[in-house]
């Protein structure tokens, strides 16, 4: 029987052990490696062993920390709750626990009150089977007057062995670039004030033991599941406290609670791994996959998007011909991008006028949709509902619908402004327009874009990013309820809105507007830490990349896109030769052959010793098959590359290892290719493949190879299943 003094939320992947002996909020004794039943029985002795000494110059009693640090309890760092009443009262509450409810090993609810401050706090903790831990707080105003919430953030303490921090930055067409640093005293703070996570958003914070990698070291990770302004931070204090924390970044006056009202934070998602970054991915991927399996929307059809093929030049005959070519190549979803609605001949007009342009489409979209569906493909459509062009009928009719201060527009960006979706009239207009389109036409997918930051976003006389984000969630939820079979892709100038808040409501994210395969290798590698392959849009672009001007072979481009939700963004009708189309069709066929594996297996990365090459793959949950990619990103320092080790396999299983070409024959043959590659493969145990490896060929920079593995001797029951 679990002690109520030491509540535990845990499973075979992670343990969160709390100390609830006192009257206040529980503190965290342990967040990390899973604890056994016998170890949990020793919780009282463990708590005694972990009693903190009292340092000189501080409070006379030890200060402990849980999921909400309290200033008035003596914590000298960043308080979890920052707020006040109009007279300045209630700014430093001290909560007394009134209830602790644990209905299962994966659920805990703690309720606490500060009667004098007139506040009630409810802290919820949920643990998914995959090992993803989710935390949130709800604050209710029980006092007689309004209470302003400046911040309400969750935290999890880190152990002292977490010495390094990995997070991410980026820009348009170069999102999710990693940066590592030592954890030092002080605060490492990452904020987004863009009205969305942003192209430079960190996506997550990963703290770990020294030199942790994909397959080694302990790692503690945190992600804020919110699609508006947010904050994530680490803090280490001289008193020995080290925290991971985060939440919504609230602008002045956004949350003022009237008596009886409450504010709920976004979910703070956390994961622990004792086997490197790949273990963190297993937790995040598992949670997202379970969520989307419940909705029955996990297919990953081969997608062609028309943007880089035709841009704004919408011509029915040309698009029909493009659709014919796409179908012959094996495309399963045809998405008509920007330019189909009234006045949209360029990017300076039309946003908000969500009616099919009668001049370009005199018979509506029906003729194109019928043609696409007649070829056996699903039809998709691009929209950008949250934005409005000053040069649009909607803006001329309703300039007051802009999300901006009265009588003053926000600075222009991409020749557009933001529509105040939280305004009831604007919300109703968008819902009617999108619902009408989805009802009138058999549209199977929406590409939902968001192409500018929110600047001076004012709603109803106050800062409006929170209200805008909630309204967009509601709009998406309502449309999904009315049209449950419609898939939605989240795009925001590419990868500017990638978070678990939006992914609760959408089926994939567009990782970047950059289709340069070399850039995409890094973008997808790091986005994929949190997002599983089937939710990560990855397209084969033209030979010469639209955004960088680089030229890459089709094999490298195809191998890069294969490990995501694969598609093409390329004028394959006019801009590709027949041999190129044949090779693209072969790549799509390879993707379909391995799709179940790619979109259901465990994502793994080798900690390869040569920084000029990356090795990653997907291993089936039962270890029965795997597909790996060896990507040569740059010229190696070595004339002969080092051996390639393949992680995550059944150690006792015997695997047939074969070379797969992502899009036709490789560039090089002869002595630069090991004999076993040319001879059709080899057979080795999973243990040898992971611990010793195989020899890679001499490979040109910006080229890639694939290895396909099948276990020959049936399932080893001792191996079990690779977690999602």
CA-CA distances (angstroms) from residue 395 to 227, 409, 607, 717? 25, 12, 53, 64
313, 284: one domain:
no
pTM given for the model = 0.96
Q: What pLDDT does 295 receive?
A: 60
Give the residue from 433, 463, 484 where a domain finishes.
Answer: 484
The answer to whether 147 and 155 are in contact (CB under 8 A) is no
Specify if 447 maps to a domain: yes
Roughly what angle, to the nearest 10 degrees, separates helices 578-598 and 554-562? 20
Specify if 335 maps to a domain: yes
285, 312: one domain:
no
Whether 449 is a known active-site residue: answer yes
Specify if 323 maps to a domain: yes
Whether 513 is a known active-site residue: answer yes
Could you identify the residue written with the tokens 């300045």? 88
463, 404: one domain:
yes
The answer to whether 109 and 122 are in contact (CB under 8 A) is yes
250, 371: one domain:
no
CB atoms within 10 A of CB 382: 21
Number of domains in the chain: 3
* Domain boundaries, position 79: 71-293
Specify if 32 maps to a domain: no
Q: What are phi and psi of 476, to 5 degrees?
A: -65, -45
Give the CATH number of the domain where residue 623 resides: 2.60.40.1180
- Listed in order, strand segments (DSSP E) in 478-633 are 487-490, 508-510, 536-540, 565-568, 602-605, 613-619, 625-632
322, 257: one domain:
no
CB atoms within 10 A of CB 350: 27
228, 374: one domain:
no
Residue 616: beta bridge partners? 605, 629
3 state DSSP class of 380: strand
Give the residue from 240, 270, 293 where a domain finishes.
Answer: 293
356, 284: one domain:
no
Give the CATH number of the domain where residue 399 resides: 3.20.20.70
The answer to whether 121 and 111 are in contact (CB under 8 A) is yes
The answer to whether 623 and 553 are in contact (CB under 8 A) is no
356, 209: one domain:
no
Specify if 91 maps to a domain: yes
The answer to whether 260 and 105 are in contact (CB under 8 A) is no
CA-CA distances (angstroms) from residue 222 to 83, 152, 202, 284, 561? 24, 16, 10, 10, 27
Grouped pLDDT means (10 residues each) for the chain, 724 residues: 84 97 96 97 96 86 92 95 95 97 94 98 97 98 97 97 98 97 97 97 97 98 98 96 97 97 98 98 97 71 97 97 98 98 97 98 98 98 98 97 90 95 98 98 98 96 97 98 96 96 97 97 98 97 95 96 98 97 96 96 97 97 97 93 96 95 65 74 96 90 94 63 40
CA-CA distances (angstroms) from residue 587 to 22, 497, 539, 609? 61, 29, 12, 29
Q: What pLDDT does 668 receive?
A: 52
Whose CA is closest to 319, among 330, 334, 329? 334
Q: What pLDDT does 296 receive?
A: 54
3 state DSSP class of 310: helix
283, 305: one domain:
no
Whose CA is closest to 267, among 499, 65, 467? 499
Q: What pLDDT does 1 receive?
A: 46
Q: What pLDDT does 202 receive?
A: 94
Give the contacts of 577 (CB within 8 A, at least 6 positions apart): none
Whose CA is closest to 297, among 539, 499, 502, 489? 489
As to burial, measured by CB atoms within 10 angstroms (0-12 exposed, 13-18 middle, 19+ buried), residue 89 is middle
228, 368: one domain:
no
Whose CA is closest to 327, among 585, 559, 580? 585
The active-site residue out of 353, 507, 513, 703 is: 513
Whose CA is closest to 599, among 661, 685, 497, 508? 508
173, 243: one domain:
yes
Give the residue from 484, 519, 551 where a domain finishes.
Answer: 484
The active-site residue out of 128, 449, 507, 703 is: 449
């Amino acid at each position: 029987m679990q002690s109520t003094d030491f509540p535990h939320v845990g499973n075979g992947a992670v343990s969160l052990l709390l100390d609830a002996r006192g009257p206040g909020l529980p503190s965290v004794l342990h967040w990390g490696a899973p604890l056994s039943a016998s170890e949990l029985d020793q919780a009282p002795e463990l708590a005694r062993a972990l009693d903190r000494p009292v340092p000189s110059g501080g409070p006379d009693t030890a200060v402990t920390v849980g999921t909400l640090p309290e200033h008035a309890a003596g914590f000298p760092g960043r308080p979890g709750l920052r707020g006040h009443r109009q007279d300045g009262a209630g700014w430093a509450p001290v909560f007394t626990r009134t209830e602790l409810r644990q209905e299962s090993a994966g659920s805990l609810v703690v309720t606490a009150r500060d009667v004098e401050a007139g506040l009630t706090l409810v802290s919820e903790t949920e643990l998914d089977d995959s090992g993803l831990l989710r935390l949130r707080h709800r604050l209710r105003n029980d006092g007689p007057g309004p209470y302003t919430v400046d911040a309400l953030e969750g935290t999890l303490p880190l152990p002292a062995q977490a010495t390094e921090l990995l997070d991410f930055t980026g820009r348009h067409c170069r999102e999710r670039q990693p940066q590592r640093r030592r954890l030092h005293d002080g605060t490492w703070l990452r904020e987004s004030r863009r009205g969305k996570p942003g192209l430079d958003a960190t996506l997550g914070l990963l703290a770990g033991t020294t030199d942790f990698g994909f397959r080694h070291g302990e790692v503690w990770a945190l992600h804020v599941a919110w699609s508006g302004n947010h904050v994530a931070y680490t803090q280490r204090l001289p008193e020995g406290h080290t925290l991971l924390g985060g939440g919504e970044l609230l602008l002045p006056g956004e949350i003022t609670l009237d008596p009886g009202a409450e504010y709920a934070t976004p979910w703070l998602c956390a994961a622990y791994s004792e086997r490197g970054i790949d273990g963190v991915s297993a937790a995040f991927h598992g949670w997202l996959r379970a969520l989307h399996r419940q909705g029955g929307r996990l297919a990953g059809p081969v997608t062609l998007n028309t943007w880089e093929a035709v841009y704004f030049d919408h011509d029915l005959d040309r698009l029909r011909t493009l659709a014919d070519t796409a179908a012959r190549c094996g495309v399963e979803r045809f998405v008509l991008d920007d330019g189909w609605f009234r006045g949209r001949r360029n990017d300076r007009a039309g946003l908000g006028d969500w009616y099919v342009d009668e001049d370009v489409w005199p018979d509506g979209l029906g003729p194109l949709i019928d043609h696409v569906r007649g070829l056996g493909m699903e039809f998709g459509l691009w929209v950008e509902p949250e934005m409005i062009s000053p040069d649009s009928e909607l803006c001329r009719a309703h300039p007051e619908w802009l999300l901006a201060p009265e009588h003053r527009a926000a600075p222009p960006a991409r020749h557009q402004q933001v529509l105040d979706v939280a305004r009831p009239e604007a919300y109703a207009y968008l819902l009617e327009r999108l619902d009408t389109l989805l009802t009138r036409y058999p549209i199977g997918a929406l590409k939902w874009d968001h192409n500018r930051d929110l600047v001076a976003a004012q709603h109803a006389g106050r800062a409006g990013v929170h209200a805008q984000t909630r309204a967009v969630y509601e709009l998406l939820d309502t449309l999904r309820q009315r049209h449950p079979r419609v898939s939605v892709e989240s795009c925001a100038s590419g990868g500017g809105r990638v978070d678990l808040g939006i992914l609760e409501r959408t089926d994939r994210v567009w990782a970047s507007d950059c289709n340069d395969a070399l850039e995409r290798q890094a973008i997808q590698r790091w986005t994929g830490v949190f997002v599983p392959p089937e939710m990560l849009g990855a397209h084969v672009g033209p030979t010469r990349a639209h955004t960088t001007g680089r030229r890459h072979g089709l094999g490298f481009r195809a191998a890069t896109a294969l490990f995501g939700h694969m598609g093409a963004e390329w004028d394959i009708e006019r801009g590709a030769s027949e041999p190129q189309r044949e090779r693209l069709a072969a790549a799509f066929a390879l993707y379909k052959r391995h799709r179940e594996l790619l979109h259901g297996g465990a994502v793994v990365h080798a900690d390869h010793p040569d920084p000029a090459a990356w090795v990653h793959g997907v291993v089936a949950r039962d270890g029965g098959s795997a597909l790996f990619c060896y990507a040569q990103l740059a010229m190696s320092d070595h004339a002969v590359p080092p051996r390639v080790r393949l992680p995550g396999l059944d150690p006792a299983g015997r695997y047939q290892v074969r070379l797969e070409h992502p899009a036709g024959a490789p560039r090089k043959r002869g002595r630069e290719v090991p004999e076993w590659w040319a001879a059709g493969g080899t057979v080795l145990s999973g243990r040898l493949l992971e611990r010793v490896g195989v020899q890679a060929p001499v490979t040109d920079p910006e080229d890639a190879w694939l290895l396909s593995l099948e276990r020959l001797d049936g399932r080893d029951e001792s191996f079990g299943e690779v977690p999602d």
